[in-house]
Amino acid sequence: MTSVWALAALWFGLALLAGLASSWLRISTALSEIIVGMIASAVFGATVGPDVLGTNEPWVKTFAGAGAILLTFLAGAELDPQVFRRKWKEAAAVGLASFLLPAFGCAAAGHYLLGWQAMPSILAGIALAATSVAVVYTVMMEFGFNRTEFGKTILAACFVTDLGTVITLGLVFAPFTGKTLLFTLAVATAFVGLPWLTRRLLERYGERPSELETKFLFLCLLGMGSLATWAGSEAVLPAYLIGMTLAGSVGRNAVLIRRLRTVTIGVLTPFYFTRAGYLVSIPAVIAAPAGVIFFLLAEAVAKIGSVYPVAKFYGSTHKEAMYTTLLMSSGLTFGTIASLFGLSHGIIDKSQYSTLVAAIVGTAIIPTVIANSFFLPRHLLPKGQPEEVPGGGAGGPLPLPGESKS
């Protein structure tokens, strides 16, 4: 067991380093964990060997997978049902526009400009079309837009975009067999029955030292995850739908969300994001930077061409429409999940994975900085909210969905 404890200590050491870097550089913790993983891969690969971090150890993959599942669930649980019901037409239109054209555009760029085969190109399109709730939610919160109709509508649109990512990933790459039918029926049953069951469990057994509600949610998420992998799909796919289903109950329980967030962000997601970064080959990116540049340009052009006209149609000014467009261009969480899905299932190779994740990291930084520097709609800021946040750029560290800034 000595080697296991030492390896675990190394992983949490990298997680601590990433957390400190996030605070120093004022970037998302998830983004800093990916970058730390990329740097560790280059350093360890050139010195002690690439296998020192044990990325293929079963327990490491289990922790990483559980982190992705819980993070995806939390993202779905952050949906505000009341706002979505009130602004569903605008949110759905912006969200669908943010997914459809960028998915096709980036897939076409991968196929025709980079010469990728059809399936890797489609996966790249899906990954680059995703919007990072982690980035958008935090910008909304730090500027106070999360308290306004403008900000809540953008957040609702993010969920539509990411729902498109989740569903398309499953439809395109999951094999359609009898197992798929059983899995679909199980998801439909959970979608209908879980809100009723969860609400009653929280009312009767919530807020007890035994943490029954947490154990119940882990049972549902991991159970559905195992059913998804049995059906040839991905464990994170049902987690997002369950999160959206329980947004009206679990999502409104601040204490429970805080507990889940502590376990997810403090223990599990460092394994997922650091591992995702560790699998990126920096030499491969340096040797072929054109792929990263092409994907960044294709994603930017497609997002502007699709989201901006829709935002204008619903009455946004030029600055508001551009701000919405740029925030909807920010990728990270679901993009890396889709990329790692493709790598683990042999849809893309490691070189393609490195190119794709490097482009996704770029979309997590560049659009947000441009949006807050040049298109911040100050006239929509809540009264008493400062117009500028110290540190510029994205306005401070970007926690994950639901994480508050201390």
**Domains in the chain and their CATH numbers?**
12-50+61-380 (1.20.1530.20)
The 10 Å Cβ neighbour count of residue 396 is: 19
377 contacts: CB under 8 Å, gap ≥ 6: 150, 317, 319, 320, 323
220 contacts: CB under 8 Å, gap ≥ 6: 190, 194, 242
**How many whole angstroms separate alpha carbon 238 and alpha carbon 224?**
6
Which residue positions in the chain have pLDDT lower than 50?
Answer: 387-406
3-state secondary structure 97-118: HHHHHHHHHHHHHHHHHCCCCH
pLDDT value, residue 142:
67
**How many whole angstroms separate alpha carbon 368 and alpha carbon 40?**
26
CB 247 within 8 A of CB 76: yes
349 phi/psi in degrees, rounded to 5: -90, 180
**How many whole angstroms separate alpha carbon 144 and alpha carbon 383?**
9
pLDDT value, residue 385:
55
Q: Considering the entire predicted model, what is its pTM?
A: 0.77
**How many whole angstroms separate alpha carbon 337 and alpha carbon 343?**
10
Please, what is the end-to-end C-alpha distance for the chain in angstroms? 37
**How many whole angstroms separate alpha carbon 260 and alpha carbon 264?**
6
205 contacts: CB under 8 Å, gap ≥ 6: 212, 213
Rg of the chain over CA atoms, in angstroms? 20
pLDDT value, residue 138:
65
CB 123 within 8 A of CB 348: yes
Q: Where are the alpha helices (DSSP H) in 47-148?
A: 58-77, 81-86, 88-108, 118-129, 133-143
Q: What is the pLDDT of residues 306-348, one digit of tens each?
A: 999 999 999 899 999 999 999 999 888 788 888 988 998 899 9
Query: What six digits make up the tokens of 401?
Result: 């969905």
129 contacts: CB under 8 Å, gap ≥ 6: 98, 99, 100, 102, 103, 106, 161, 164, 165, 299, 302
250 contacts: CB under 8 Å, gap ≥ 6: 77, 198, 202, 213, 217, 243, 256, 257
Query: What six digits make up the tokens of 320?
Result: 């508001």
**How many whole angstroms separate alpha carbon 392 and alpha carbon 60?**
36
Crossing angle (nearest 10°) for helices 178-205 and 212-230:
180
**How many whole angstroms separate alpha carbon 237 and alpha carbon 54?**
26
In one-letter notation, the amino acid at residue 137 is: Y
135 contacts: CB under 8 Å, gap ≥ 6: 28, 327, 330, 332, 364, 368, 394, 398
**How many whole angstroms separate alpha carbon 132 and alpha carbon 27?**
13
